[in-house]
């Protein structure tokens, strides 16, 4: 099939873990004849969960791309993980598609990750539809889930399919647009029939609602509806299509991926009513660092961005790209403007899970893979003509890591293997970070939770056959002063034959507003200290500040005024004044009431109502302050500020308190004064260590 931009549909399948996203992908591929048999998670053979970890854990960990054709349309479907620890992979799917399909459990309705993912879609104003899965599940309740969604989200939900029965009585779905019933046979294949009499009254009620919603999609449809009292199927599709494109309506489908039910009608709707990428907005930044909205179009020079990177054992480095303008083909050169490097494109691929299929080009709006590129990495921009294309695509908006561990190995050889593996993983997963903390002298890794980190470290340990030791990291405390020191002085003098050392410095230190870090003011008048010695004075002050006073943590938020000094025509030097400055600052700290500062974090916690009391009590016990609280039906969002030292194990604590259902987000906020017993413990620990 020759693909044009208007024939493309890019869709991310998203939802809470365990709602059946991977099974839905299997059914879509089966009905479109890409695969010959539907596999389940237990078999370890599903198309989109193909890595060793996914097969072993039976959960989606990575976003998987699959290309299929349906009714002369080309669909790029991305199956995303639903577990909070792998949110970075879901964001890859959001960024590269024009619409999302939110999969919801027919019994559980909106769950914690449903709400968090929905909020991310809202932030992007991303069109979306809902697929209520597992209608054959015990206690499935279609009406209850619709009401639950309406209670949780400020959106216009439009039932487009309704079920025939629920739970063990589930027989199939009714397509309200077509006015037809889709049953499933003993082989779980769909069969189209007329609507049984027992469902006609129920179907009529829902269809009338559907027509009303569709009529609101366009002014001429409202007029037609008022004149005729109804709309034909094509008018209904157009109304929903225009409402979906503007994110004014959320079509709701239903079915069972276990039974293969609801799939044909879903494919028909996606192929003909989900938005095409053409003329959709891509976010760019121009050469003046201004945000510019650029429309996807098939004219002009080629441009694309890399939204995901994987390193395959056989194919090497695979860069997943979204084409924004022009077309990408094997006969063009692309430039990475940030690296100022270019290369000729090698082979281009489409993908069906781990299977990559060579293609000759990718048109504007298309999603595909370029292999073994030396200039591409996740978030990079690739341009055909950088002299004429003065922009970069905005990078992925990824959350901050919430869990950190300090790591070590037994020997240098193991350490080298570990570092090499960590580098590769950082290239694939931008929510995973590894750094060496110069302050605490620890190698640390950070990620989206304990499961995320342990899965990565266990994988490295097994493959490299090395032992990795982990522990909670040290906290980067700070020290500061709380009052002016008054003018203090220090003279450094040393005589040992020949030229001696001499420098005298008078300074006054005073507190700065929290977060201003440091200010130096040279108030010397009359040239008592030559200008050439001032850099040495500043260097001495910086060195002394980095050494701390109470517990060897860096001093911050200090203003230092150089008031006066004295030099010797022979014995003075930059080194002498550096040492004099350190001594003067030491004298000033003795009088300035030094205290510890500890880092505080902004925390968002998402939990079921039943755990609210326990979580609030726990936050209070961690010296946290609740700053806000929002209710979403049966779910709660708690906003708080908590000391970082209390949050080191929160990923594990919250899992224990909420039976694994709670989740949270974390980012640095500010530093606050630490006093009393807590400060004494930090100081004692530092002195014992040193």
CATH fold of the domain at 403-473? Alpha-Beta Plaits (3.30.70)
Question: Which burial class, exposed, middle or buried, applies to 500 when counting CB atoms under 10 A from its CB (0-12, 13-18, 19+)?
Answer: middle
Is there a contact between 319 and 343 (Cβ–Cβ < 8 Å)? no
Is there a contact between 337 and 320 (Cβ–Cβ < 8 Å)? no
Percent over 70 (pLDDT), the chain: 99
C-alpha span between 69 and 46 (Å, rounded): 19
Sheet strands (E) in 353-468: 355-359, 361-363, 367-371, 381-383, 391-393, 403-408, 433-437, 442-447
Q: What does CATH list as the number for 479-592?
A: 3.30.230.10
Task: Specify the pLDDT at position 79.
Answer: 97
**Chain segment 312-335, per-residue pLDDT in tens:** 877 889 999 999 999 999 989 999
Q: What are phi and psi of 42, to 5 degrees?
A: -65, -30
**Chain segment 112-170, per-residue pLDDT in tens:** 899 989 989 998 999 999 999 999 999 999 999 999 999 989 999 999 999 999 999 99
Q: What are phi and psi of 130, to 5 degrees?
A: -120, 135
pLDDT exceeds 70 at position 550: yes
C-alpha span between 452 and 340 (Å, rounded): 34
Average pLDDT over residues 288-312: 93
Is there a contact between 78 and 112 (Cβ–Cβ < 8 Å)? no
pLDDT exceeds 80 at position 450: yes
Task: Specify the pLDDT at position 314.
Answer: 79
* Sign of the Cα pseudo-torsion (604, 609, 615, 616, in order): positive
Average pLDDT over residues 243-263: 96
Tokens of 476: 């980067």
What lies within 8 Å, CB to CB, of 225 at 6+ separation is 211, 212, 215, 231
The residue whose two tokens read 């905005």 is: 394
Tokens of 38: 């539907």
Task: Specify the pLDDT at position 499.
Answer: 75
**Chain segment 352-372, per-residue pLDDT in tens:** 999 999 999 999 999 999 999
Confidence of residue 690 (pLDDT cuts 50, 70, 90): low
**CA distances for 33 relative to 26, 256, 274, 504, 543, angstroms:** 11, 19, 21, 85, 68
pLDDT exceeds 70 at position 341: yes
In a 3-state reduction of DSSP, which class is residue 339? Answer: coil
Adjacent-strand bridge partners of 367? 322
Nearest CA among 322, 250, 323, 321 for reference residue 99: 250
Adjacent-strand bridge partners of 437? 442
What are the b/e assignments for 625-640, b being 16+ CB within 10 Å?
ebeeeeebbbbbbbeb
Is there a contact between 639 and 656 (Cβ–Cβ < 8 Å)? no
CATH fold of the domain at 281-393? Elongation Factor Tu (Ef-tu); domain 3 (2.40.30)
Stated as kind and residue range, the H or E segment containing 215 is helix 197-215
In terms of CATH architecture, what is 596-689?
2-Layer Sandwich (3.30)
> Hey, what CATH class is 5-196+249-273 in?
alpha beta
Is there a contact between 585 and 507 (Cβ–Cβ < 8 Å)? yes
Domain assignments of the chain as residue spans, ordered by start:
5-196+249-273, 281-393, 403-473, 479-592, 596-689
Nearest CA among 217, 220, 209 for reference residue 247: 217
**Chain segment 500-529, per-residue pLDDT in tens:** 899 999 999 999 999 899 999 999 988 899
User: Cα(first)–Cα(last) distance of the chain, in Å?
Assistant: 69
Adjacent-strand bridge partners of 374? none
C-alpha span between 454 and 308 (Å, rounded): 22
Task: Specify the pLDDT at position 570.
Answer: 84
* Sign of the Cα pseudo-torsion (467, 469, 470, 476, in order): negative
Q: Is the full-model pTM beyond 0.75?
A: yes
What are the b/e assignments for 287-310, b being 16+ CB within 10 Å?
eeeeeeebebbbeeebbbbbbbbb
Read off the DSSP letter of residue 168: G
Strands 172-175 and 558-566: unpaired
What lies within 8 Å, CB to CB, of 236 at 6+ separation is 177, 210, 211, 214
C-alpha span between 553 and 579 (Å, rounded): 20
pLDDT, averaged across the chain: 93
Q: Do domains 403-473 and 596-689 have the same CATH topology?
A: yes
pLDDT exceeds 80 at position 497: no
């Amino acid at each position: 099939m020759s693909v044009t931009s208007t024939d493309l549909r890019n869709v991310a399948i998203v939802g809470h873990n365990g709602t059946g996203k991977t099974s839905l992908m299997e059914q879509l591929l089966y009905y479109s004849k890409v695969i010959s048999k539907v596999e389940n998670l237990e078999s370890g053979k599903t198309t989109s969960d193909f890595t060793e970890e996914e097969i072993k854990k039976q959960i989606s960990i990575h976003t998987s791309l699959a290309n299929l054709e349906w009714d002369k349309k080309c669909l790029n479907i991305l199956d995303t993980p639903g577990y909070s620890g792998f949110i970075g992979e879901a964001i890859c799917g959001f960024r590269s598609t024009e619409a999302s399909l939110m999969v919801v459990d027919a019994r559980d309705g909106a769950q914690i990750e449903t709400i968090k993912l929905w909020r991310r879609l809202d932030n992007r104003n991303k069109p979306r539809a809902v697929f209520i899965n597992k209608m054959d599940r015990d206690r499935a309740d279609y009406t209850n889930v619709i009401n639950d969604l309406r209670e949780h989200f400020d959106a216009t939900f439009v039932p487009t399919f309704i079920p025939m029965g629920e739970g063990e009585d589930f027989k199939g779905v009714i397509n309200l647009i077509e006015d037809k019933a889709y049953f499933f046979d003993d082989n779980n294949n769909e069969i189209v029939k007329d609507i049984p009499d027992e469902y006609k009254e129920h179907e009529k009620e829902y269809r009338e609602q559907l027509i009303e919603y569709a009529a609101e999609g366009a002014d001429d449809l409202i007029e037609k509806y008022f004149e005729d009292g109804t709309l034909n199927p094509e008018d209904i599709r157009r109304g929903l299509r225009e409402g979906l494109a503007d994110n004014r309506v959320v079509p709701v489908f239903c079915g069972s991926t276990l039974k293969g039910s609801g799939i044909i009608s879903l494919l028909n709707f996606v192929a003909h009513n989900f938005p095409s990428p053409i003329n959709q907005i891509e976010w760019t930044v121009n050469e003046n660092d201004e945000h510019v909205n650029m429309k996807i179009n098939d004219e002009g020079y080629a441009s694309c961005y890399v939204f995901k990177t994987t390193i395959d054992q056989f194919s090497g480095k695979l860069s997943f790209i979204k084409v924004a303008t022009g077309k990408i083909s094997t006969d063009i050169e692309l430039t990475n403007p940030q690296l100022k490097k270019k290369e000729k494109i090698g082979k281009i691929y489409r993908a069906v899970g781990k299977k990559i299929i060579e293609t000759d080009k990718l048109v504007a709006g298309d999603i595909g893979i370029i292999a073994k590129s030396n200039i591409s990495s996740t978030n990079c921009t690739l341009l055909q003509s950088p002299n004429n294309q003065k922009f970069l695509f905005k990078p992925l908006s990824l959350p901050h890591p919430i869990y950190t561990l300090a790591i070590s190995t037994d020997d240098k050889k193991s350490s080298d293997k570990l570092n090499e593996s960590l580098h590769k993983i950082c290239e694939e997963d931008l929510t995973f970070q590894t750094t060496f903390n110069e302050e605490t002298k620890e190698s640390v890794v950070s990620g989206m939770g304990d499961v995320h980190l342990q899965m990565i470290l266990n994988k490295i340990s097994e493959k490299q056959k090395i032992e990795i030791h982990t522990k909670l990291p040290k906290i980067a405390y700070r020290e500061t002063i709380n009052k002016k020191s008054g003018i203090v002085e220090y003279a450094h003098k040393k005589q040992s034959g020949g030229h001696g050392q001499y420098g005298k410095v008078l300074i006054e230190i005073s507190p700065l507003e929290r977060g201003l870090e440091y200010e130096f003011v040279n108030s010397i008048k009359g040239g008592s200290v030559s200008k050439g010695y001032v850099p040495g004075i500043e260097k001495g002050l910086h060195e002394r500040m980095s050494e701390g006073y109470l517990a060897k943590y860096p001093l911050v938020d200090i203003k230092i005024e150089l008031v006066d000094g004295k030099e010797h025509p022979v014995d003075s030097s930059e080194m002498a004044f550096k040492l004099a400055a350190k001594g003067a600052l030491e004298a000033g700290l003795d009088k300035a009431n030094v205290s510890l500062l500890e880092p505080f974090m902004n925390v968002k916690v998402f939990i079921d109502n039943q755990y609210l009391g326990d979580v609030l009590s726990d936050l209070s016990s961690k010296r946290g302050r609740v700053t806000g609280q929002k209710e979403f039906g049966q779910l709660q969002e708690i906003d708080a500020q908590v000391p970082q030292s209390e949050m080191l194990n929160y990923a594990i604590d919250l899992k224990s308190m909420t039976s694994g259902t709670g989740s949270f987000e974390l980012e640095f906020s500010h530093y606050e004064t630490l006093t009393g017993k807590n400060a004494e413990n930090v100081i004692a620990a530092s002195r014992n260590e040193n």
